[in-house]
Structure 1
């Protein structure tokens, strides 16, 4: 039971990291296009 909880936590962290990178990437693209 403990390992399943741990895997869900890792998956959630990875999803948050991916969303953060996508958000930062889109911001960078907008800045590049606006220059």
Structure 2
């Protein structure tokens, strides 16, 4: 599985669902640190 692609899809989905970009960025930071 391509994790990076999967995360990009997740972020795009969240934005489409109406999550503010700042929240998506925060989600990215949390997930990135968790997966590092």
TM-score normalized by the length of structure 1:
0.48
- Find the structure with the greater CA-based Rg: 1
| Structure holding more helix per residue | 1
TM-score normalized by the length of structure 2:
0.47
- Structure having greater relative contact order (Cα 8 Å, sep ≥ 6): 2
